Chain A
Amino acid sequence: MIFFQYLANGLILGGLYACIAAGFSLVWGVLSIINLLHGAFIVFGFYIAYFSYTMLGIHPFLSVITSAVVLGGLGYFIQLGLVNRVVTRSVLVTLILTFGLELMMNNAMLLSFSADYKKVLLEHPFGIAHFGNVFIPLDRAASTVIAFLLILLLWLVLRLTSVGRAIVAVRFDREAALLMGIDVNKTYAMTFALGAAMAGAAGSLLSVSFPVAPLSGPLFLSKAFVICVLGGVGSVPGAAVGGLFFGLLESFGAVLFGSEYALTLAFVVLIVLLLVRPHGLMGVKGF
């Protein structure tokens, strides 16, 4: 049945999309910032994995850790030094600030990594599994599993650690959190760092599946927009569900309308959702 093949493709794609959107959604939810840098973070994570593999032979799945640490650190300082200065201003100001930063980062990556598309070609791929007529590339399936583990980890961090509880508290009521002795600026920086770490990890994960160029960021970003609205802004489980839904939508949408109209389809869904269910499919109840 070809139906099950599309289903499998959609679910595998969806895991990666969920990972792309989770950090973006967290930052939007807690900081009220539409972080246009997120796409560039993903691309940077990809290059970390790419060069780790081609130069050092490190498997991209291991580079997830490197990418998360490097981009988490980068994100922490970008938030602490730059974004925190305008974090309470209107969406116009914060969005343009992240746009300016994105231009800088994209330009730097373009000069350093050249404009052509790259992809990690594994020397020892995991192969392909057959279930009847359904083919599943195991590398992709593995990256989807890791993606969900990372989302679970993020969710646990928000649930169980003191940093996570601080983030949730700041999200619900900034002033009250401030009065309880939470350092709001540091918490914002941690949130942004977590978001950037998730982006970097996602970039490393998708290096085995997708070809990426320095200016691929906006492509991932526009998907993150839609998934974020699908799942409910700021909700980590919502991003997981939204990602899966979006993966299926793209997989089946490509069959019905042709893959060149993927973004148009996504946009129609985005608009309908914003108008009909502005809090996402599941609604937002904390994290």
Chain B
Amino acid sequence: MTRQQLLLTVIIAAALLALPLIGNNYMLRLATTTLMYAVLAMAWNVVGGFAGYPLFGIAAFFGLGAYSGAVVQSSGYPIALAWLFAVVIGTIFAIVLGFILLRLRGHAFAIATLVIAEVLRELTNGWTDVTGGGMGLNLPFFGWSPTALAVFFFYVMLALAAITLVTTWIVANNRLGFALNCIRQNEDAANIVGIDTTRYKIIAFTLSGAFAAAAGAIYASWTGYIEPSDVYDVLFSIKPIIMALLGGMGTVLGPVIGAVAFLALDEIVWRNFLQLHTGVLGFLIVVLILFLPSGLSSIGLHRFWRKAASA
């Protein structure tokens, strides 16, 4: 890290930590949402970016985590235990699912992961005794003031995002990251030179699942009410991918930058085109894919700077 980078990191960290002192509840909600999506985008990035597997099912882990946590929390257990339980369930599910699905590649993997969230939604809908089915699940009310809640969940999400970021950084600079990189470039070759591809893929898949499940559990406690069509929404699978694409796939910070940029856009669209929101979102996606194929870095700011300097 150069001194400028260090300085920048310290400033951003300080600004984030101090945000509850400056911002109102609206800003805190926005920031918490952004942090949550940053976690999802980073979780996706481990499988989708590093290993290059087209994962379209982050929503499955997110929803599973939300429901696991919510069920435990509404049975009267402490909130931390509920979140821990969600992470454990997410991890186990990811290991089992990874063992089955990671034999597939390309289109087949994409479709299988795309359907898995729908299947979990159906199962959650059907298991009415535990999940409340289509009626949704209400979580016990804290009894805190709205501001205290907003601040609390902001810090919780910030902590989760920080843990995810550090984990991603460790993965990227580790054997695991190297192995995933090899798998992305040529899985058969990686296998031949002695990389245990199955093991590394499952580890990556499990990391994705665990972090997405944690985000889901915190989301459930934060909003206080969840229903199957909300937490298993396909948009929870797609948006993180778009964020990672936008910020730079397979990099450590890319998904975070993408999450911030995307949600800023998303918020502007929401505010101005309520009825056309999904349509405009779709339009943004199309424009992004067609004109910014390598994300924000393809805008080429350095070229702009060079021109500005020579003028």
Contacts and interface: CB of A to CB of B under 8 A. Distances in A.
Report if A and B associate in a common complex: yes
A271 interface: yes
B290 A32 contact: no
Contacts of B106: 91
Nearest to A110: B278
A75 B245 CA distance: 26
A279 to B, nearest CB: 11
Given A96-B241, A270-B112, A263 B122 contact: yes
A107 B112 contact: no
B49 to A, nearest CB: 10
B245 A91 contact: no
Interface stretch (A97-105, A122-130, A179-187, A245-253): A97-105
A82 B115 contact: no
Instruction: Please indicate which of the listed interface residues A95, A108, A222 has the most CB atoms of chain B within 10 Å of its own CB.
Output: A95
A89 interface: yes
Contacts of A267: 115-116, 118-119
Interface string B280-304: 0111111011100100000000000
A153 interface: no
A261 B278 contact: no
Interface string A222-236: 100100010001000
Contact of A102 (B107, B122, B282): B282
Interface string B4-25: 0000000000000000000000
A165 interface: no
A34 interface: yes
Interface of B: 48, 54, 56, 100-101, 103-104, 106-108, 110-112, 114-116, 118-119, 122-123, 125-126, 234, 238, 241-242, 245, 275-279, 281-286, 288-290, 293
B118 A263 contact: yes
Interface in A156-184: none
8 contacts: A28-B107, A82-B286, A103-B285, A107-B276, A260-B122, A261-B122, A267-B119, A275-B104
Contact of B290 (A85, A103, A278): A85
A137 interface: no
Contact of A97 (B103, B118, B285): B285
Contact of A263 (B108, B110, B119, B286): B119
Given A222-B118, A270-B115, A274-B104, A93 B278 contact: no
Interface in A60-96: 82, 85-86, 89-93, 95-96
A276 to B, nearest CB: 11
A204 interface: no
A107 B48 contact: no
B100 A86 contact: no
Majority secondary structure, A binding face: helix
Interface string A250-267: 000000001011011001
Nearest to A266: B115
A92 B53 CA distance: 9
A258 B293 CA distance: 45
Contacts of B279: 103-104, 106-108
Contacts of B242: 96
A271 B100 contact: yes
Nearest to B241: A96
Contacts, number: 115
A99 B110 contact: no
Contacts of A92: 48, 54, 110, 241, 245
Contacts of A55: none
B227 to A, nearest CB: 16
B293 A93 contact: yes
Interface in A101-154: 101-108, 111
Given A97-B285, A104-B286, 17 more contacts: A28-B107, A82-B286, A86-B290, A96-B242, A99-B238, A100-B285, A101-B286, A107-B282, A218-B118, A218-B234, A260-B125, A261-B122, A261-B126, A263-B119, A264-B122, A271-B101, A274-B112
Contacts of B281: 100, 103
Interface residues of A, number: 41
Contacts of A258: 126
A234 to B, nearest CB: 11
A106 B279 CA distance: 7
Nearest to A105: B282
Instruction: Please indicate which of the listed interface residues B112, B238, B282 has the most CB atoms of chain A within 10 Å of its own CB.
Output: B282
B134 to A, nearest CB: 10
A100 B115 contact: no
Contact of B123 (A102, A105, A233, A264): A264
Contacts of A93: 245, 289, 293
Nearest to A215: B278
Instruction: Please indicate which of the listed interface residues A95, A100, A101, A264 has the most CB atoms of chain B within 10 Å of its own CB.
Output: A100
Contacts of A102: 282
Across the A-B interface, the 6 shortest Cβ-Cβ residue pairs: A103-B282, A100-B285, A107-B279, A104-B282, A100-B286, A100-B282
Nearest to B55: A92
Given A96-B245, A103-B282, A278 B108 contact: yes
A92 B277 CA distance: 23
Contacts of A264: 119, 122-123
Instruction: Please indicate which of the listed interface residues B48, B56, B275 has the most CB atoms of chain A within 10 Å of its own CB.
Output: B56
Contact of A34 (B100, B104, B107): B107
Instruction: Please indicate which of the listed interface residues A91, A97, A101 has the most CB atoms of chain B within 10 Å of its own CB.
Output: A91
Contacts of A28: 107
